[in-house]
Each structure stands twice: as structure tokens, then as C-alpha cells.
Structure 1
Amino acid sequence: MRKIWGLAVLSAIHSTAFANTNIVAAQCKDYMQPENWKPLASLPKHAIDIVADDLELQGTDSAEFSGNVVINTETMSLEARRALIDKKEGLLSASGPLLYRDQFTKVHSNGLFADLNANTVSLLGAEYELTDQQGRGGAEKLHASGSKISLDNSSFTTCPADDPFWSIEASSIVLSREDGWGETYNTVFKIMDTPIIYLPYFTFPIDDRRKSGLLTPTISSSNKFGLELITPYYLNLAPNYDATLTPRYMANKGFQLITEFRYLTEQHQGKIGVEYLSKDDSEPQLDDRYLVHWQQKSYLSDKWRAFVDVTNVSDDNYLTDLTSEYANETDTQLYRTGSLSYLGEDWLVDLKLQDFEVLGDHRESYTALPQISFRTRDSYELVGLDWDFEGEFAYFQNDALPISEASRLHLEPRVSFSRSDYAWSFTSEARLLHTRYEQNIDVPDTEYEESVTRTLPSLRVHGQLNFERSTEFFFEQGTQTLEPQIQYLYTPHREQSQIGWYDTAKLQDDFIGLFRARRYSGYDRIAEANQFTVGATTRVFDSSNVERFNFSAGQIIYLESSVKPSEQLFTDDTNYNALFAAESMLHWHKRWYLSGGVQYDVDSKELVQSHFTLDYKGDDKQLVQLNHRYVNDVSDYEIDQVGLFTSLPIDDNWQFVASYHRDMTANRSVESFVGVQYQSCCWAIQVTANRQIETNLNQTLTNDEAVFDSGFSLKFVLTGLGSQSSGDASKLLQQGIFGYRRPYFLNK
């Protein structure tokens, strides 16, 4: 028997009231309901569809249904043995066992009573579960009213129902759809059915909105810190700004407070971090230790941008002693800058204030206050040539250096002629580089001069051919290209020893660097040049036009001995003549990637640099990388290191990660790391151990004096109580001195 009543019914149990925020692990798919509830497609709007074996009318406004009762509305369905509906009063009662369902929830109960006019429902002896998210539990009484659900003498867990690893049992659980959070009163937290802790009150998320609360703590131990406990607390201050307070206890050092404030407005986004340690027990001679970090990006208008990035520490060894997420512990300089950019229709202008905090015994840097650079946005065509212009004004200051103050004005007009087609390209350009220096020299009898003007032209001619053919060498229906190129560069000699070094450094001499117009960044040194550079690149693309192989090689040929780098003693760095550079990539399979490069001085027959990477990326978080790098001179040290990264799933729940780096010159390990993670649908644990060489910026240690720090860390996550699951354990490999980096796959 079927009856349809024109009575508006609102579902009393709303999906968002149980909307758990946590990511469902792949292991949980067997515990979730595969299908979601859907209303009857043919049901009229604001109507109730009732099917039952028997119907007994009680006047004109009430009816009692019995025997396999099925009630459907737009927002819910109910299966019960017996149901009574009072249309006039808007009341519904049902007896069970019964099954209640809406779009996201499924409830087994002994009885139901609903006030349809007040939009409230009560279920007795309820066993509930979520149909598209993790979460289930039981309640002596479940009461729903509007956007809020109350569970009396109830339980909650995200684990499988048969054997939950963890659960909470409370005298009352309140779930608020409006607030997105759940509250529990008189709660006992259990692990494996064993009571662990009693909490009079706490909250947890039921959707993706943020709320203040304790985040996942981390417990670790190491030689440096001793026992370490980190307990972050999140403060949801407003929709557009928040903060995190992180007490950090270190047995060997003391108590540190780490704070971070984040903000977001229509024009600005940024964060401010402060780390403070009042007394370091392991360094009693030091005063209080701190770090301050401020980073902000501002979009002031369509034409104006601003950026701030400032980090300051109390002492040189702060990062190596205490570590921080705002800088790497191997950094020897802290970058501090503020910039304002103008993006006009004709000009691009950058105003920058820049400073470096030098850590340890390293070369002092200059403060640039200010540094204004400008250039034309587009080239202007005149008599068949392209004309553009760029320049810069900078004021440098450092009282600790022989030149305490200096101003630099650089003007650089350029004219070029370029033509290109699919099979070839040609570019010729001429520049006039004019630079004016005013220098305040504090040290007598130096080669520096107070006023220096340097003007010199520069000529560059570059041509490239592009050949292409079909090939079956690597892939069927593949395509191979050959791209030979040649460049001539001429810059006359100018004496520049009377100019100080302010913001200029030697550029990398890789394959791309062979074809640069300059050897140095900045304008303080412009290298003499009279040279040809020849090189070629060949590439192989598969039938889908994906680049699978490339090889590039080139060499600089100097036409005069005086223009060789070794003859231009601009810096104390080692210079190389007749430099040959090559690099290659082989991506023969979607999971395998091989890349490498080499720089070689043909004159001295000396290897300058080399690098090699073999990478495997499989399904299900499988990752293996083998790498090697060599540099023959870095601050008078030879770098020869090999490294290994691996991440291997053991089964659906367990994953193993490890990394190892070894210094072949010193014949010792530099860093080793191993970790294992267990992750189920309702809890996860990470256990890691590491050993790495310690850095001391205040002294230089020999190989025999190197000190190592060893430690382990434990991270425990309960999915569904506000902590995010740890996810991909391979992300652990991005930590440490040598972080894993995925090779770049280039598509045509």
C-alpha cells in the first residue's frame, strides 16, 4: 500500500553535522559505504512517499502504518516496523528496529520521534555511521535540532566497527553544523579498548573549517637536543588571519617558544614568525637567543607590487644549533629585502632595499639602500632595428669594509636585429655599457679611486639552425632534432681594479652559461671577451611529442690569450680556460629518468664539475634516486659526494624511507636518514632516525674533528580528532641537508 502526503519534511540529521575533515586513506575503502543515499526521482516537491503492508487511518490528519514501512522524503528515508504520522501536529514516530538514511548518514535505531514543524528528531539506541567519510559510533539517544545534533552516552571513532584502534566515549557529544566542530563532555579516550585519559571537555572538527586547538605533537631525541617535545597549538583568530603557538622543550637546551602569525587581505598576504629561547643550557655564555621572520606579498593595484622578506637571528650559530623552518641550517647568509615594483605600459621599475646578515667567518656583504632598476617594457622598432634601454642606480654601505659607501649609476642602451623561422634563428645586438661610481674609501694607499667612469661597448652575434627527421632509434614514430648554434662575443678591455666589489658574483659555466653575454652578475666587473662559442643540442621525441632524450655540448674558443678567464684576475676564484660543457637527459620509460652534466677545462685537462642522477618513480609511492656530484674547488675544498634516496611501500599500511649521503673525499658519511610509517584509515605513526654532520660557523673543522648529531623522532596521528594523516611518507625525504628533488620532465 502506498500513500503520498503533501507535507513538508526536513531531514533532521544533516550531512554536514558529521562531515569529518580528514583524508580517507586507501586502506579504508572496505570500511566505507560504497553508495550514497538518493531521494526518489519521482517524488513531488514537499511530499512524503509511504509504503507499508497495512494502513489504519485515525481521522483525517493521522495514520498508522505497519509492516515493512518505508518512508521517503526529499531529504531522508526511513525503514521501520511501525510508524505513526500526525499531519495536523507535524509529528512522526516510528518503532524498530529501524533504519534511517540521508545523503551522508546511516543510522540503526530502536525508535524515532520527530517534530516536523520544529525540525527536530530523536533516535533511541542509535548506531550511526557516515556513508562517504570516516566516522561511526553509538548513542543511547540521538537528538537533532536544526543544525545541531546531540548524542547522549555516546561514542565516536573513525576506525572499523569490529575492532576500533581508538574511540572516545562521552556523556554528551554535540555536533554543530553551523560551527563545523564537535564538543564532548566527560570524555574517556580509549586505545584498543583501554582507557588512556579522561577529559572533562574538548573539541574536534567535523568539516574543513578551522578552530583553535592542539595539533599533533612530536617526540624526538638526539645528541644535540636530548629529549625533545613539540606541542603546537593553533589559534583561529578570524577567517583571514590565524596564529600558531609552539612550545618546544629540549632537555639539553631548555624551553623555546615558537610563534607564527598569518594574515590575508584583498591586497596583502604574509606571515610573521618569532622564535625565542631565554636561556640555552648548552651555551651558557650566550644571552637570550631568537629568530624573527617577516614575509609579505602585496598586490597594491594592477601596476604596483610590493614584497618583503626579512629574517634576523640573535647569533651566527642559531640555525645550526636550534634549526628553523624559515632558513636552512647550512645557510651562511640571511637574505633581507623589501621591494616595490611598477609595471607600466612603457617602463618596468623596481625599487629594492637589500641587506644580508653574514653568518660565521664569511665575506662581508654590502647593504643596498636603495637599488633602483628600470627598463623599457618592450623594444621600439626604428629603421628595421629593435631599440631598448635599461639602467640602475644603487647606493651601497658597509662600514666594516675598505670602501664604506659607494653609489653606482649604470646606463645600458641596446640595439638589436633578429630574425627567426622554424628552421633557423639569427640575433645580433650591440650594447653600450656606461657606469659611474662614487666611492668613499676609508683605507689609504689602495688601488681604489673615489670617482670612476667606465664606458665600453659589447657586441654579440648568435645563430642557430634547427634540423628535424623521423627516427626509430628510441621509439616508434619518433622525431629527432639537431640544433647547432654558434655565437661570437666581443667586449674590449677596461681596467677595473679601481672599482670595489658590491653585488657581483661569477655565474655558472654550464651549457646555457656558455652562450651568455656576461660572465658575472651585477655591473662591478665586465669581463673582456673576444671569443666564439660553438655547441649543439639533439633531442628525441616520441609519437606523443614528449621529449625522451637530449644531449647538449659546447665549448668556448678564445681568440686571444688576454681574454682567457685565467688572465683576468677579477676574483680569488679559480678560473678555467677553453671550458667545455655538456649535459644530457634520458627518459626512456615513464618511471625512469637519467640526467647528468659535466664541465671540463680543455687547456688544463681538469674536471671542473659534474653531476649525475638516476631516478625511478613507481606506483604506490615507490621512489629510488641515486645521485653524484663533484666540484673541484668550493672555497678551497673539493666536493665529491654520492647520495641515495628511497621510499618503498612494504604493504598497504607500511612504508619505508631512507637516504644516505657520503663524502668520498673525506671518506665518511655526511647524512643518513631512515624512517618507517604505518598508516591505517584511523591512525598513523612515523618513526624516524637520522645522523648528520654538525655545522659550526664560528670555526673551521678538519675531517678528523667533525662532530655528528644522531637522533630519532616519533609522530603519532589519530585521524578524526583534528590531526591530518601524515600522508606520503616519501615527503620525509625532503628534510635534512640534502632534500630529495624530483627531476624536471620537459615536454615539447
Structure 2
Amino acid sequence: MGAGVLAGLAAGVPAFAQTTESVAGLTRVQDESPLLLQADELVYDRDRESVAAVGDVQLDYGGTRLVARRVIYNQRTARMVAIGNVEIVQPDGTRVFADEIDVTEDFADGFVNALRIVTPDKTYIAAENAVREGGTTTTFGHGVYTACEPCRERPEKPPLWQIKAQRVIWNGEEKTIRFEKASFEFFGMPIAYLPVFTTADPTVKRKTGFLMPGVRYSQELGFGLAIPYFIALAPNYDLKLTGTGFTRQGGLGEATFRHRTENGLYTITAAGIHQLTPEAFDPITQDSTHVNRAMIGTTGKFKINPRWTFGWDVLAQTDKNFSRTYDITGFSDLVQQNEVYLTGLGDRNFFDARVMQFDVQESDPDGAGRDAQQPWVLPSIDYNAVTSRPVAGGELAFNVNARGISRDIADQRGNPADSNFATRGLRGENGRITTEAEWRRTYIAPNGVALTPILAAQADANFLDTSTFPSYSATGAALTSDDTFYRSMVTAGMEVRWPILFSSTSSVHVLEPIAQVFARPDETGSGKLPNEDAQSFVFDTTTLFERDKFSGYDRIEGGHRANVGLRYTGTFNNGWTLFGTVGQSYNLGGENPFAAPDLLNVGAESGLETDQSDFVGMFGASYNNWLRAAVRARFDETTFENRRTETEAEIHTGRFTAGAEYAFVQAQPTYGFAADRHEVTTRASVRFGENWQAFGGATYDIVNDRFSRNGIGLAYDDECFSLTLRFDQSRDNSEVQSNSFAFRISLRTLGDFGSAGTDF
């Protein structure tokens, strides 16, 4: 080996080419590139015009490496033969193993014996022989294809799945692999015979052709078989057409177009059906009263620049339950939020503007149910900003919120004669513009006490169509008769915190007393204005120290108030952490906003409607990264009776994960809950073996002594195959039980097959 070998190579072997096109591990020559050779010896045969490299031969040309015991190049026929433990490694990482390879010098045509190919994405092809023709097509004789890695301990063991075929044709021009007279084997056992089967080759991520079918079943629809067809129109846009045949309702057609641009993505989905048996559904419902049903939906999201995003999510359909009944992907939620939005995010500010309309996909007839009560939000605007420089040594923040509401039918709870009658949303149009500013600065006293003065101001302008307002509440609130209503609120407050540190050789503890005092006038217009965005309210330790405890801008907390509490955190060297908070709130003077009626009587039975609030507390513990538990509770301020409790616990080990939540809420007749509510939710999963997982969960209604939801499942997952089986049950308040079974099989490189959910 040495200079003589290289000189002989230059004289007898042509300069092979750098490769750019590879099919089945064999690459066609295009551009000339130098060749490097290493071998024990070179043998020249001038009569046959051939050169042979013998013994530990290594070739490197254009990034492709070849190793063999012997390589012979015939100048007369322009063919090269590699013999004995041949291995080729392509620039893309594809590895080819063979006993013998006989190819032309440009690798356009050739013949291979005892071939085995391993692609970079871990797909495997083996064959008794292979013939390459035209530089684009390789035909394997008696080939085997799989995406499963061979067992290292037992290489002869069959993979989990494989396809055996009399002929396998790999077309590099069309980027397809065609199997002829094929059988699909699972754990070495044939389970299906496929006369002809075609799939995209492993180098292709998007390819026109049929996708894996799906199945569905429900009592109303019957058995359904979905056949999807994917069309790769261009590298950045495509179309998927799906035809689903239901035994009871006929054919459902679906089409989804996707287009990715330089700065975003948008989709358009359309579907339709002519129902053959609408009477299979419950009578006088959306599903039974419409024969021809269709929808069109579109989504989009675009980055205008690094700070601004524009997007939309819109659904239009012939009736309000079509997309949910037929489980149209992306549009089957119970509540579909139609919106067009513009969002901007800076270092210290945020802007969001959106137009929204809510569709409740329910089976109730038109004009009934909750869908008819849903509003148009025209628009909703939020702007938040924090000054980049201190103002008077402190932080100054601004908030602006504006919303416009239009609703054809009032959204009401109960009937006017009921004690819990209330109006969640008013008929007609109403709007509000709110501006808010807050300044705060923290001073640290010599003894470690943190003093934070707080100043805040808020101003609203409300615009009302009072001519359309019906009876609205049993709370006694009287809606204003003014078409325009202005209100304002100014707040001055002080927060005092004194974190006290205790430490030992094995732990660190921080005990922090907290006190807040806020002085402000009474809320203007309490109970006289619509309440659209401050309807959700829970008093607990997360809201104890909020300056304004209402969840939205439609209500403003007024009156003088004090919040006091104690926080504790303990960290131990053995991995345990303890944390907790207890506290109480006091109405010091003025009107208590949580006792003042509004259209929903939001503050009633909240624990804040009395001058001295209920006690709230939270205590939790965690151990390293595998255990966490916490309990939150609210107790009556005089009797210490339990009003509300929430408990949660989670555990994570190497193979086992479990969690549980318990919730108790005392009866709230003002909101229509005449009895206490107790509910327990559990979930768990365990991994066994190397690839198996079992999981399950349940929600138990203690008051009604029944499971409202429960389910179990089994999953398998490895590098080439995944399987999920799941069974779920749910029950509504009338004890009607719904069963659902779902399964999904995924074969890597081939596709997915299964059902998202089958009801029976």
C-alpha cells in the first residue's frame, strides 16, 4: 500500500463522481471527483484491461465510502465488481451491505447479491438480490421491509412487523416503494396478504397517495370506514380528501387544504353529507331535522413581524351541531370560539384585539338551548404596559380594556319566579371602555420589613341599549335607565410584609406575615350595569391579596378593606419542602361590594359578603420531584364550618404515576345548587416491561353515589410501532350512560390506523 497503489489507481481506474442522487443505497455518478483507494495490493491484467484491488479494500469518492475484500474494475466494460463483505456508506448515512455488487462505473445500472440496506431514519430492506436499472429504479427479489430495529441479542428473531414481497420496486424518480405479492407479518406470523401495495420511500415526508383508513361507530351513524387521500400539490401546500361511508347515514365527504407561507399557515376545511336516516337520531333535534348538512371552517396564524401576530379561527355550518356529530377535525368542540385576532407582545407591553362569536354545538332545536344566547363580541381589546423607567422610584403600569357585546336573546338562569333567577348576558348591545393605572414602590426598612405603598385609578364609560332590557334578576338589582354611564375608582393602599428567616443545619424556614389596607370610595353603579366578564369568582388564598378580587372589569371592588395573612415555606436537606398560607379579609367601611346585588349576585355565598370574611388556607408538601400534595379550604368566620375544600396529590416514580383530586363545595342555592357537591377524580398510569403502559381514571360523584366518568387504557410504544386501546364511560344527570371505545395503531413510515372514538 502507498505511492505505488495510488499511481496504479490513477493509471487504471477512472475518476468517480460526486453523488447527488441516491436510490436504495446505490448512487448515480454526475460530476467528476477524485477517488482515494487503500488496499493490500493492486493486480493489473492488461489482457482483460482490468485492475483489481485485493485485501481490506477501502474506496472513498465524493463522500461515499466502500469497503470490500476485493474490488475489480474492467476498463473494457466500464463496470466495477466488489466482492466479499461489501459495505457502502452514502453521504446521507445510508448503509448498504452485500456479498457482491456489480455496477457500471456511473452506478446507473447494476446487480447485487444478498443485499441489506439501513437508511438514516432506521428503516431496513433485505433481499436475495437486487437489480438497478436506468439510474432510478432498483428491483429487489424476495425482499423484506421493516422500520423495526433488529434484536441485538437475537438478530435472527423476526421484527415486530415486516412486509415480505416477491418483488420490491424502489423508484427514485417517483419516490415510491412498490410491493408485489406481499404479506404483512406480525411477530413473524402472516396476518394479511397484499397483492400490490405502494408507499412513499423513507426519504419522502410528503407524497401524494392514499393514507391509512380509519373506522368509526355510533348507534346513530352506524359503522363508518374513512378512506383519506393526500395530494402534495407543492412543497408548501397540500390537500387531503376523505370519504367516509356510514352504514346508516351514507357518505360523508371532507376536504382540508393547508398552505404554509413564509410567515404563517392557513387551513380551509369543508365537509358535507346527505343523511339517509335522520330519524335514527332523537326526534326534534338538530341531527334529526336536517337532511342536507355541511360546514366550512378556516384557521390561520401569521407572524407579521417578531412582535405582531394575526390570525383567525372561523366556522360556518348549516346547523349548529353538524361538526360535532360527525367529529370534523379541528371543529368538533362543544363550544367553538370563532375569532379574528391581532396580538402584539413587547418587552414591557402587550396588545390584543379580537372579534369573537361563540357557537355551542348542541342538539337542541333552533332558538332553544344555549347557542341562541351566545353573543358577538365586537370587539374585545386589551392593552397592558409597564413603564421602562421608574416613576417616583416605583413601577407604573397601565391597562386599557374595551369590549362591545351584541346578543339577540338574553342569557338567563332559571325563570323570573325562581330565587336563583339571574341574567348572565343582556339582550341588545352594550359596551364599555376602561382605563386603569397602578403605581407601587417597595421600601425595605432596617429590620427587613417590606413596605409597599400602592396608588391606583380606574375610569369607565359604559354604553347601553336600555330599551331592550327584560326582567333580569331576582337579586333586587335595578339596571340603570341611562344610555351612557360613567364611573371611576381611586385607591390608596399600603402593603406590609415581614419575612422572618429561621435556619438550622438541616432546614431553612421563612415565615412571612402580610397585611394590606386599601382606602377607596364605594363602587359606583353597583348592580346597575351589565356583568359580562366578572362572573367567575372564587375566594381562596390565590385571591386573598388581590387589590381587586373581581375577575373582570365589569365589577370594581370598592369600600375600605384590609387583607391579613401568614405565609410559610420550609426547605429540608432530605428533599422535603413545606408551604402554606392562611388569612382573612375585612370590610373596614363603606358598602361591601360582595354583598351588593348585581345581575348575577356574584359575591353571594363567596365568603366575602360579610364584614369579616371566611378564613382561607392552603397547605402543601413536596418531596424531590416525585411527590406533591396540597389542600385548599375556606371555613366559616364564626362557626369554622367547612365551606369549600380542594385537595390534590401527585406522585411520579420511574414507572408509576398517579394523581387524585377531591372537591367539596357547600350548597349554593343562590346559584341553583341546592345540595352540597362532593367529587373525587383519580388517574394513574404504570409502565411495565420495556414498552407497555396501562392507564386509567375515574370521576366519582359522592352525593349521587355514581361514577360520572371512568376509563381504562393500554398502550404499547417502541421505535417502529405503537398501539393504544382505550375504553371510556360517562353518565349525565339523568343516568344515561355513554360508552366509547377508541384504538389507534401506528406503523412508522407507513401511517396510522384506528378510530378517535367509537360510541355504543
Letter of the 1:352 counterpart? R
1:636 corresponding residue in structure 2: 672
| Contact 2:16-2:34 within 8 A present in 1 as well | no
| Contact 1:221-1:712 within 8 A present in 2 as well | no
1:664 corresponding residue in structure 2: 702
2:405 corresponding residue in structure 1: 396
Letter of the 1:495 counterpart? G
| Contact 1:109-1:124 within 8 A present in 2 as well | yes
Deviation per CA, 1:487-515: give whole Å up to 9, x if none. Answer: 22344233333323344423332322122
1:79 to 63, 68, 78: 68
Mapped to 2, the partners of 1:604 and 1:664 lie a distance apart of 24
Mapped to 1, the partners of 2:619 and 2:648 lie a distance apart of 11
Deviation per CA, 1:456-514: give whole Å up to 9, x if none. Answer: 32314242536364646xxx755433333222234423333332334442333232212
Taking a change above 3 Å as real, the CA distance of residues 239 and 460 of structure 1, as seen in their structure-2 partners, is: farther
Letter of the 1:112 counterpart? I
Q: TM-score, normalised by structure 1?
A: 0.79
1:114 to 97, 103, 121: 103
Q: Which has the larger displacement, 376-385 or 271-280?
A: 376-385
| Contact 1:527-1:568 within 8 A present in 2 as well | no
Taking a change above 3 Å as real, the CA distance of residues 514 and 139 of structure 1, as seen in their structure-2 partners, is: same
| Contact 2:86-2:101 within 8 A present in 1 as well | no
Q: Which has the larger displacement, 1-10 or 340-349?
A: 340-349
| Contact 1:62-1:84 within 8 A present in 2 as well | yes
Deviation per CA, 1:626-665: give whole Å up to 9, x if none. Answer: 2222334685345422222222223124322222221112
Superposed displacement of residue 428, structure 1? 0.9
2:365 corresponding residue in structure 1: none
Say if 2:40 is the partner of 1:51: yes
Letter of the 1:295 counterpart? T
Q: Which structure has the higher relative contact order (CA within 8 Å, separation 6+)? A: 1
Superposed displacement of residue 571, structure 1? 1.6
Mapped to 1, the partners of 2:201 and 2:171 lie a distance apart of 9
Counterparts in 2 of 1:186-205, with a 5 A limit? 186-191=180-185, 192=188, 194=190, 196-200=192-196, 202-205=198-201
Taking a change above 3 Å as real, the CA distance of residues 676 and 436 of structure 1, as seen in their structure-2 partners, is: closer
Letter of the 2:740 counterpart? G
1:92 to 69, 76, 80: 80
Mapped to 1, the partners of 2:230 and 2:443 lie a distance apart of 57
Mapped to 1, the partners of 2:75 and 2:617 lie a distance apart of 84
| Contact 1:277-1:289 within 8 A present in 2 as well | yes
Deviation per CA, 1:178-215: give whole Å up to 9, x if none. Answer: 77x43215342332453733344522340362223344
1:184 to 175, 178, 187: 178
| Contact 2:25-2:95 within 8 A present in 1 as well | no
1:207 to 189, 203, 206: 203
Deviation per CA, 1:34-85: give whole Å up to 9, x if none. Answer: xxxxxxxxxx963121235x7344279732355x4523325222324x5322
1:627 corresponding residue in structure 2: 661
| Contact 2:108-2:136 within 8 A present in 1 as well | no
Say if 2:600 is the partner of 1:571: yes
2:530 corresponding residue in structure 1: 500
Letter of the 1:566 counterpart? A
Taking a change above 3 Å as real, the CA distance of residues 377 and 269 of structure 1, as seen in their structure-2 partners, is: farther
Q: How many residues align?
A: 683
Letter of the 1:92 counterpart? M
Mapped to 2, the partners of 1:671 and 1:370 lie a distance apart of 37
Mapped to 2, the partners of 1:450 and 1:287 lie a distance apart of 47
Taking a change above 3 Å as real, the CA distance of residues 584 and 121 of structure 1, as seen in their structure-2 partners, is: farther
Mapped to 2, the partners of 1:425 and 1:415 lie a distance apart of 16
1:265 to 261, 264, 287: 261
Q: CA RMSD in A?
A: 4.1
Deviation per CA, 1:362-396: give whole Å up to 9, x if none. Answer: 49343222344455552776666766654444433
Say if 2:597 is the partner of 1:610: no
Mapped to 1, the partners of 2:97 and 2:426 lie a distance apart of 82
Letter of the 1:378 counterpart? T
2:129 to 137, 140, 149: 140
Superposed displacement of residue 667, structure 1? 0.9
Superposed displacement of residue 594, structure 1? 1.9
Counterparts in 2 of 1:291-440, with a 5 A limit? 291-301=295-305, 304-312=308-316, 314-315=318-319, 317-318=321-322, 321-323=325-327, 325-326=329-330, 331=334, 333-341=335-343, 350-358=352-360, 361-362=369-370, 364-374=373-383, 378=387, 389-401=398-410, 404-414=427-437, 416-420=439-443, 424=450, 426-440=452-466
Superposed displacement of residue 228, structure 1? 4.3
Mapped to 1, the partners of 2:43 and 2:664 lie a distance apart of 87
Mapped to 1, the partners of 2:18 and 2:393 lie a distance apart of 74
Counterparts in 2 of 1:562-601, with a 5 A limit? 562-563=591-592, 565-573=594-602, 574-576=604-606, 577=608, 578-601=613-636
| Contact 2:213-2:753 within 8 A present in 1 as well | no
Structure 2 residue ranges without an equivalent (≥5): 27-32, 151-155, 282-287, 363-368, 411-424, 472-477
Structure 1 residue ranges without an equivalent (≥5): 20-43, 695-702, 727-731, 738-748
Superposed displacement of residue 557, structure 1? 1.7
| Contact 1:216-1:717 within 8 A present in 2 as well | no
Taking a change above 3 Å as real, the CA distance of residues 172 and 166 of structure 1, as seen in their structure-2 partners, is: closer
| Contact 1:157-1:168 within 8 A present in 2 as well | no
| Contact 1:16-1:206 within 8 A present in 2 as well | no
Q: TM-score, normalised by structure 2?
A: 0.77
